[in-house]
Amino acid sequence: MASEEEKKAVFDAESAKEVVKELRASFAAGKTKSYEWRSTQLNAMLKMMEENEPQILAALRDDLSKPELESSIFEVAMVKSSCRVALKKLKHWIRPEKAKTSLITFPSSAEIVSEPLGVVLVISAWNYPFLLSLDPVIGAIAAGNAVVLKPSEIAPATSSLLARLAADYLDHSCIKVVEGAVPETSALLEQKWDKILYTGNGRIARIVMAAAAKHLTPVVLELGGKSPVIVDSDINLQVATRRIIAGKWGCNNGQACISPDYIITTKSYAQKLVDSFKCELERFYGKNPFESKDLSRIVNSNHFARLSKLLDEDKVSSKIVHGGERDEANLRIAPTILLDVPQDSLIMTEEIFGPLLPITLVDKVEDSFDVINSSGTKPLAAYLFTNNKKLKEKFVATVSAGGLVVNDTTVHLTEHTLPFGGVGDSGMGAYHGKFSFDTFSHKKAVLYRGFACDAFVRYPPYSRGKLRLLEALFNGSFFGIIRALLGWFKS
């Protein structure tokens, strides 16, 4: 008698090939190209989110113990909003863009046509499993592609919910969800895709890009990094603290790519900052944060062990000034603040991705920029709290990151007119709003010429006269052209 495992189909390279074959056939048949198909799918996705919110919240609770409000807003509402933006703007995005032409190609007209890339792969992450799965898929659909979504196995309840909902609501012949872990992902990566969008960490990103290289597949990599927060002294401390807390513990308990990772502030201001944190943390989460319903848990024991290790390092454990409590059975770590940890400690070199917030001290706030730039890597986001105009200007000019926010944290994610993506180690490419549409499109240049006005100067036999005329044409100078023509007629 076959065991349960044997009965369950194995998704291997053959299965992956079949999936891609089916999607390629659907794409070649033109199914995904029409405006009607795209808007039908986007509407279906909207309906899917509206009709299944309780199940979605439940799955997120299972996988992450995500507070209902976070799930409702950052996963459901954001996906719905993204669908609505795409639906509203789709006709406009699809329309070709006129391009200018110059004297050299006169007479002509030109435009840039957006066409779908074909069959694309979206590999998403576990921390915002709905948002990071569906937001890219919205872009892929809007741009007219067939798409395979591979949700993260580290969030199994949401992965299987996504698979079920997608099969029920979306066009199965063009949009598929493939569940699984390393073997299934590897099988998918062996296939030829027209684009891959990966959200996750740098180690896997290298594997994805190397696999893509074999097929010359372009990739978008949404990675992470250590997003720093510079805190100046002459500010509204309470508002700043609350916004940092909202971006850190309010975002999946610090397990978010754009969560503030660490703080840089002056030695003289540090104590005030720590006191403010203590006060606001208690206001938000109560005296015993383990009893608060408003904090996600650590996703699994691997990450719990990883974060514990960061705290247990010798030179770090003595620097805890708030929190530090752990509950391994329930995968909980209290909001923890550390003061003045050494730059070479693990917690200051690796992306934390958890509820630990180290504060690094500098003499003058301007020294913060050196601290950030000396890390040698560019983060996904960087934040600054200040009222000092010059400091803001220096921040914007010298700190390179995916995106910057002054006097707030993380909110730039919600603004679809800003491209969301990294640079250097934090990734390549961007999406959200129209950027999603663009990232899954090929922008085809089209030049329309007529048969009239054939410039004889283009054709051999070549002569000095033709050379002079060409030079004049390239320089765009009428006078030069006339002179060359006159010289031509003379010779």
Partner 1 sequence: MEESIAELRETFRTGTTKSVSWRKKQLRALLDLVNENEDSIFQALDQDLGKSRVESYRDEIGIIKKSASYSLSCLDKWMAPKKGELPLLFFPAKAEVMPEPLGVVLIFSSWNFPITVALDPLIGAISAGNTVLLKPSELAPACMSFLTQTIPRYLDNKAIKVIGGGADVGKRLLELKWDKIFFTGSPRVGRLVLTAAAKYLTPVTLELGGKCPAIVDNTLSNPSKAKVTAKRIVGGKWGPCTGQACIAIDYVLVEEKLASTLIETVKKYIKIFYGDNLKELKSISRIVNQLQFQRLVNLLKDPHVAASVVYGGSVDEEKLVIEPTILLDPPLDSEIMNEEIFGPLLPIITLKNIEESIEFINSKPNPLVIYAFTENETFKKRILSETSSGSVTFNDSMVQFLCDSLPFGGVGQSGFGRYHGKYSFDTFSHEKSVLHRAFYPELEPRYPPWTNFKLAFLKLAYALDYFGLILLMSGFRKS
The packing angle between helices 464-475 and 478-490, to 10°, is: 170
Residues 418-437, interacting with partner 1 (CB under 8 A): 418-420, 423-425, 427-430
Exactly one of 240, 256, 274, 298 binds partner 1 (CB under 8 A); that residue is 240
* CA 305, 308, 310, 312 torsion-angle sign: negative
**Under rule CB under 8 A, residue 406 binds partner 1:** yes
Determine the 3-state secondary structure of 98 from DSSP. strand
Residues 352-391, interacting with partner 1 (CB under 8 A): 373, 387
Exactly one of 183, 458, 478, 482 binds partner 1 (CB under 8 A); that residue is 458
Contact 26, 173 (CB under 8 A): yes
To partner 1, the closest distance from the beta carbon of 289 in angstroms equals 10
Residues 6+ apart with CB under 8 A from 355: 248, 249, 253, 254, 295, 298, 307, 323, 333, 334, 335, 336
**Cross-strand pairs, 361:** 265
Number of residues that bind partner 1 (CB under 8 A): 107
> Pairing state of beta strands 332-333 and 326-327?
antiparallel
Exactly one of 268, 302, 317, 463 binds partner 1 (CB under 8 A); that residue is 463
Write down how long the chain is.
491
Exactly one of 164, 234, 444, 478 binds partner 1 (CB under 8 A); that residue is 444
**Under rule CB under 8 A, residue 1 binds partner 1:** no
**Under rule CB under 8 A, residue 87 binds partner 1:** no
**Under rule CB under 8 A, residue 99 binds partner 1:** yes
Contact 469, 488 (CB under 8 A): yes
**Under rule CB under 8 A, residue 460 binds partner 1:** yes
Rounded Cα distance, 386 and 228, in Å: 14
Between 26 and 45, how does the x/- string for binding to partner 1 read (CB under 8 A)?
A: --x-x--x------------
Determine the 3-state secondary structure of 116 from DSSP. strand
**Cross-strand pairs, 263:** 229, 359
For the record, the structure tokens of 1 come out as 């008698």
Between 470 and 489, how does the x/- string for binding to partner 1 read (CB under 8 A)?
A: xx--xx--------------
For the record, the structure tokens of 403 come out as 């995106």
One-letter amino acid of 211: A
Exactly one of 167, 181, 279, 411 binds partner 1 (CB under 8 A); that residue is 411
Q: Which is nearer to partner 1, 352 or 457 (CB)?
A: 457
**Under rule CB under 8 A, residue 446 binds partner 1:** yes
Alpha-carbon distances of 251 from 259, 337, 358, 409, rounded to whole Å: 7, 16, 17, 10
**Under rule CB under 8 A, residue 212 binds partner 1:** yes
Looking up tokens 């296939």 gives 191
Looking up tokens 């006129």 gives 98
**Under rule CB under 8 A, residue 417 binds partner 1:** yes
Contact 204, 187 (CB under 8 A): no
To partner 1, the closest distance from the beta carbon of 239 in angstroms equals 5
Cβ atoms within 10 A of the Cβ of 26, count? 18
Q: Using CB under 8 A, which of the segments 128-136, 270-278, 331-339, 438-446 binds partner 1?
A: 438-446
* CA 52, 54, 60, 62 torsion-angle sign: negative
Q: Which is nearer to partner 1, 164 or 443 (CB)?
A: 443
Q: Using CB under 8 A, which of the segments 58-66, 123-131, 312-320, 454-462 binds partner 1?
A: 454-462
**Under rule CB under 8 A, residue 323 binds partner 1:** no
**Burial code of 296-319, b = ≥16 C-beta within 10 A, e = fewer?**
bbbbeeebbebbeebbeeeebeeb
**Under rule CB under 8 A, residue 246 binds partner 1:** yes
> What secondary structure letter does DSSP report for 10?
P
Residues 101-120, interacting with partner 1 (CB under 8 A): 101-102, 104-105, 108, 110, 112-113, 115, 117-118
Which string of DSSP letters, residue by residue, matches 364-395? SGGGHHHHHHHT-S--SEEEEE---HHHHHHH
Exactly one of 2, 9, 216, 486 binds partner 1 (CB under 8 A); that residue is 216
Q: Which is nearer to partner 1, 168 or 234 (CB)?
A: 234
Nearest to 296 by CA among 136, 66, 130: 66
Residues 247-276, interacting with partner 1 (CB under 8 A): 250
**Under rule CB under 8 A, residue 141 binds partner 1:** no
Q: Using CB under 8 A, which of the segments 161-169, 201-209, 306-314, 360-368 binds partner 1?
A: 201-209
**Under rule CB under 8 A, residue 242 binds partner 1:** yes
**Cross-strand pairs, 169:** none
**Under rule CB under 8 A, residue 55 binds partner 1:** no
Exactly one of 1, 2, 9, 445 binds partner 1 (CB under 8 A); that residue is 445
To partner 1, the closest distance from the beta carbon of 459 in angstroms equals 6
Q: Which is nearer to partner 1, 8 or 88 (CB)?
A: 88
Q: Using CB under 8 A, which of the segments 98-106, 145-153, 172-180, 266-274 binds partner 1?
A: 98-106
